[in-house]
Chains A and B, each alone.
Chain A
């Protein structure tokens, strides 16, 4: 108890003397600010990416694609396969008793970036039941495409991020111009980075005879096992079924790992650099106060109280830096939309916004505390290792 009170009193003294050694103390603050701001910005990319990929994933929605292929883009599904699949048990039916399933084909559509460069977005051909399969999609402008016509609807994120995707504008595809007739919103999902048209019309245009994959709604989450089993034992099908969350976790894994390892590599190196800076600062702060500490010890202050107060000071300074760093990252990047490779097909673009989430803020705080504790502890230990008499004689 006494030690705690001594510690608080010493911390208060230390903090009040900071203005006299402002430059030194700012080293800790600015060091942590830079580390946290950089680490959070890169991690915010990774969090935003997985948030978008997982967007509106539902456990009762399944994806069916060729066994052995690593994504729906590399899969091939014939019309006969699709007919077989929609008769399997477990699939939800609409009011008319029709299975809620969409045979889909994936291509790419050229778009223009805001800097004038070419890029591609995923072009998805879907079945007539698109809106039942994906009830989260909602037209925010224009109307639905009509099968048989060269019409597309585009996602809101793609519409905002790329040029030339307004209502009435055209995209040049293989057999000519396709008109954009609608803009849709889809919560937070990958779909918002895509252009969607009628599967049969798109396949005719590209002289394709097969789908890539099929997406279906199940009666419930629990019917997945039944459906999956039915898919596996049907002898004429060489396909596999995955729930949407499972599938998305599989395809986004490598990109997520890449972003995270970049973030931790850069953040780690900067963090070590900042730690050395903090050590330096606290060593000189302690050196300047050796006489003072010796006097306090002679008066009967506990050594632990002195060590504690130095560590607390370092932690407070680095937390201040972390706070500024979080504010910078949050203010500059949170919600900022960027586009990067990662769409559903080939190297199409995925639009997503950076997200500085609460777990990231917590991580930043813990890291800053770590820098403060290590940066304060070693110098503080040095302060009490010197004998009282030696310190007092030094001046």
Chain B
């Protein structure tokens, strides 16, 4: 009989107990997988955000929009490679449906927002049709539009002919991560025809040559407008992603506190089961030792048994977490049970297995044959 068979047989000695223990470990690792997935998702968003792409907003939020003339000044800042801008256009379509569109220079805009994927064909289409709009797939679906449709939107921003109605032609689509309900339109089309806020934009986008100079360049841009009536605040995309996760509240603290409680509960629970199960078999280990198994071999058998239980249960729990991810996205959109999360989880399983088996294993290690065999009826 080889060691694997022995470990496996010992594990299923009391099937109910093993199953229940495995189930509680699996539940704990399901939770660990989900919570770590939330943290990993946030970290990925931050890491994926670029440092060489920056946005320039009004320093004080809610300020009036900035004049488009600032574009030329920004372009002259050393290190700046590309600049563009966007204004918001908000309109109703068969209320209560409403949409927001970015009025911009589409080609440059998309080159600075790499997360939005757009085809060359769509870009050409919107450059050809001044009153064109590119829409996200989610927007098309919600409004029941298709490419080629002509639509009339009603906005609070009046058209120069005095009416609130604006005509657009849907000329193409772009892909956006998650459910995004927005469109992209030509700034020139909007700005020429609107009455209010003419010649203004809400935000500038900048790409700089050297990502490592992002701090210096953003400071240089902000300094440029320090004494104007439109003070700015420039952030790299990475800084903004970091601030976004911060503002959600102290997520890290909460997930870690919950993880702590789960691990404590788990460790206590399984350490107890392991102790019980190994103690019951004291005399069997005595028999093994009498047959010539060394102290080390007995120790390895006991450890292997616990590790086996933990690894199978943890794998099941983490697998379940990965399966449940689509549902968990309803609550936290950036959750990602990545390979790293699973690997860390399995590592944790090994650590917990060793920790919970440590004391009983040490007792087995110290066991003498006579002591173990005479413990039988005690």
List A residues at the B interface (Cβ < 8 Å).
Answer: 23-24, 26-27, 30-31, 34-35, 37-38, 41-42, 68, 76, 107-108, 110, 117-120, 123, 172-174, 206-207, 258, 261-262, 265-266, 269-270, 272-274, 276-277, 279-280, 283-284, 338-341, 346-347, 349
Contact = CB atoms under 8 A, between A and B. Distances in A.
Contacts of A265: 328, 331
Contacts of B261: 34, 37-38, 270
A341 B275 contact: no
Contact of A270 (B246, B262, B268, B272): B262
Nearest 4 A/B pairs, CB to CB: A273-B27, A276-B24, A340-B249, A34-B265
A173 B95 CA distance: 34
Nearest to B277: A284
B377 to A, nearest CB: 10
A42 B24 CA distance: 21
Interface string B104-132: 00000000000000000000000000000
Q: Which of A38, A207, A280 has the most CB of B within 10 A?
A: A280
B20 A273 contact: no
Given A34-B264, A119-B247, A276-B21, 11 more contacts: A23-B275, A27-B269, A30-B264, A68-B92, A68-B96, A118-B243, A206-B64, A261-B330, A279-B20, A283-B16, A283-B17
A207 B273 CA distance: 70
Given A173-B60, A261-B331, A277-B269, A347 B247 contact: yes
B20 A174 contact: no
Contacts of A38: 257-258, 261-262
25 contacts: A23-B272, A38-B261, A68-B95, A76-B156, A107-B62, A117-B243, A173-B60, A174-B58, A174-B60, A174-B63, A206-B64, A258-B331, A261-B331, A262-B331, A266-B31, A270-B27, A273-B23, A277-B265, A277-B269, A280-B24, A280-B269, A283-B20, A340-B248, A346-B61, A349-B247
A240 to B, nearest CB: 12
Contacts of A272: 23, 27
B262 A274 contact: no
A276 B20 contact: yes
Contacts of B328: 265
Nearest to B23: A276
A24 B269 CA distance: 8
Contacts of B268: 26-27, 30-31
Interface of B: 16-17, 20-21, 23-24, 27-28, 30-31, 34-35, 58, 60-64, 92, 95-96, 98, 156, 243, 246-250, 254, 257-258, 261-262, 264-266, 268-269, 272-273, 275-276, 328, 330-331
Contacts of A120: 61
Contacts of A206: 62-64
Contacts of B247: 119, 341, 347, 349
Nearest to B61: A108
B31 A270 contact: yes
Contacts, number: 121
Nearest to A175: B229
Nearest to B321: A269
B262 A34 contact: yes
Nearest to B253: A338
- The A interface is mostly helix, strand or loop, or mixed, namely helix
B334 to A, nearest CB: 14
A338 B262 contact: no
B96 A108 contact: no
Nearest to A24: B272
Contacts of B62: 107-108, 123, 174, 206
Contacts of B156: 76
A269 B30 contact: yes
Contacts of A172: 60
Contacts of B264: 30, 34
Contacts of B272: 23-24, 26-27
A68 to B, nearest CB: 5
Contact of A280 (B262, B273, B275, B331): B273
A117 B328 CA distance: 29
Nearest to B246: A117
Nearest to A25: B272
A274 B265 contact: yes
Contacts of B273: 280
Nearest to B95: A68
B89 to A, nearest CB: 15
B95 A270 contact: no
B265 A270 contact: yes
A269 B60 contact: no
B55 to A, nearest CB: 15
A266 B243 CA distance: 26
A390 B254 CA distance: 52
Nearest to B63: A174
Contact of A277 (B24, B35, B64): B24
